[in-house]
Amino acid sequence: MVLDDLGSSLRGTLDRLQGKTRLDEEDVEEVVREIQRSLIQADVEIDLVMELSDSIEQRALEEEPPGGTTARDFVLRIVYEEMVDLVGESTDLPLEPQTILLAGLQGSGKTTTAAKMAWWFSKKGLRPAVIQTDTFRPGAYDQAKEMAERAEVTFYGDPDADDPVQIARDGLAATEEADIHIVDTAGRHALEEGLIDEIQEIDAVVEPDRSLLVMDAALGQGAKDQAQRFEEAIGIDGVAITKLDGTAKGGGALTAVNETDSSIAFLGTGETVQDVERFEPNGFISRLLGMGDLKQLAERVERAMADTDTDEEDWDPEDILEGQFTLKDMRHQMDAMNKMGPLDQVLDMIPGLGGGIKDQLPDDAMDVTQDRMRSFDIVMDSMTEDELENPRSIGASQTRRIARGSGQPEERVQELLEQHRMMERTLKQFQGMGDADMQRMMKRMEG
């Protein structure tokens, strides 16, 4: 997303302040110009850009930097605080029984977000149900049902009915045992009267505790208008921003939040039900500014590990430390990596790595890696238990058999074995490391 550029361009400007303890007017102007340029490029509405940059400028010139702070850290803190202030607190979503209505234009990601939110609530120990009332978009029913199944939550929809208001009513009655009701509505391509009327009728029947506007991060200047219309029609309590994993600019969503005086509830970062994050202003802005977000990274790693542990009965991490690194171990690692999300996002969360490492990689390096992981997985499905445990025993005839069985070229099998040898070698080096070395390495990563 283009808002990410704010981080790297700002870092560039701030680096020029390195060593300074006081800021002069020229420094402040330069920083403010840089911020304005990045925000405008990210499609943040111009009035909002001016408002934000004015307060940053004013504070940077008027406030005294606390003793011992460098000029660079001082400015960074002001920018950070002002941005956190702009996006505001996360939408209040207590972990208790409630009904949530999702509104938005077609394609904004409502159906996907409904399933993601259901998944998120279910991980918090609640029993969510998704109610699909979109009778307008062909395929909405099947898609919603399939995603709800993947999220392992209750689903209600009626592919033969054509009255969304009735479906909503029936759906609430049919899913009484659930404690969170997420009602997905139909979108249209644009803000037609029909859409607004329909959502008002559903709103009247459902009587939601909260209404969330689902908004594509790619939405630019149109965001303000859209947000206003939905706000007038049903009242918006929060925004779920989707497709933040793509090349979207992200600025429109900020504008919408500001316009409706609401807040951000969730962030969608991919197409699967798990690609959702509860919005957390400090983490979000830290990430935008390239300051890293350790807390979120730790959570993701933990979640990936917990998910992965359950489906491998005989996997023992101790074995790796004792020097045996089998293909099963490697698969386990790959699974965990996959569940953490796209590698580039994971890298973004490591402080100090920020743009640096990614800038050195070719654009498609991350995708290739994930595609390769998927094909490795297919190859391993065609291996015997013994081969997975003792990859070194795999010779030419087995390679041919595995390739045939998995429908993958023989080179892919060889590549997998090579990758395994490489990881094994790397691990051997780690085994020689003491705690002190580890700590030194972590320090270096923290920058």
Closest CA to 38 of 17, 77, 7: 7
Query: What are the beta bridge partners of residue 183?
Result: 101, 131
- Compare residues 113 and 258 and give the one whose CB is closer to ligand GDP: 113
Residues 147-158: b if buried by 16+ CB within 10 A, e if exposed: bbeebebbbbbb
Q: Is 290 annotated as a binding residue?
A: no
- Compare residues 72 and 116 and give the one whose CB is closer to ligand GDP: 116
Q: Give the CB-nearest residue to ligand GDP.
A: 268
Which DSSP category does 221 fall into? T
Collect all residues with Cβ–Cβ distance below 8 Å to 102 and sequence separation of at least 6: 110, 113, 114, 182, 183, 184, 185, 211, 212, 214, 240
Burial class, 70, CB count within 10 angstroms (exposed 0-12 / middle 13-18 / buried 19+)? middle
Residue 107 engages ligand GDP in binding (rule: CB under 6 A): yes
Which 3 state secondary structure label does DSSP give 214?
strand
Residue 274 engages ligand GDP in binding (rule: CB under 6 A): no
Q: Is 110 annotated as a binding residue?
A: yes
Tokens representing 51 are 């408002």
Q: Is 187 annotated as a binding residue?
A: yes
State the minimum distance, in angstroms, from the CB of residue 95 to ligand GDP.
23
Residue 145 engages ligand GDP in binding (rule: CB under 6 A): no
Contact track, ligand GDP, 43-72, x by CB under 6 A: ------------------------------
Task: Compute the distance between CA of residue 380 and CA of residue 180 in angstroms, rounded to an integer.
Answer: 40
The binder of ligand GDP chosen from 187, 238, 250, 341 (CB under 6 A): 187
The binder of ligand GDP chosen from 109, 171, 250, 342 (CB under 6 A): 109
Task: Compute the distance between CA of residue 278 and CA of residue 281 in angstroms, rounded to an integer.
Answer: 10
**Opening angle at CA 49, ends 236 and 22, nearest 5:** 130
Q: Is 195 annotated as a binding residue?
A: no
Task: Compute the distance between CA of residue 339 and CA of residue 301 in angstroms, rounded to an integer.
Answer: 8
Contact track, ligand GDP, 87-106, x by CB under 6 A: -----------------x-x
The three-state (H, E, C) secondary structure of 139-175, written as one string = CHHHHHHHHHHHHCCEEECCCCCCCHHHHHHHHHHHC
- Compare residues 37 and 188 and give the one whose CB is closer to ligand GDP: 188
Residue 108 engages ligand GDP in binding (rule: CB under 6 A): yes
Q: Is 107 annotated as a binding residue?
A: yes
State the minimum distance, in angstroms, from the CB of residue 194 to ligand GDP.
16
> Which among 38-46, 221-229, 243-251, 303-311 is the span making contact with ligand GDP, rule CB under 6 A?
243-251
Residue 211 engages ligand GDP in binding (rule: CB under 6 A): no
Residues flagged as binding site for GTP: 104-111, 184-188, 242-245
Binding site for ligand GDP (CB under 6 A): 104, 106-112, 137, 143, 187, 242-243, 245-246, 268-271, 275
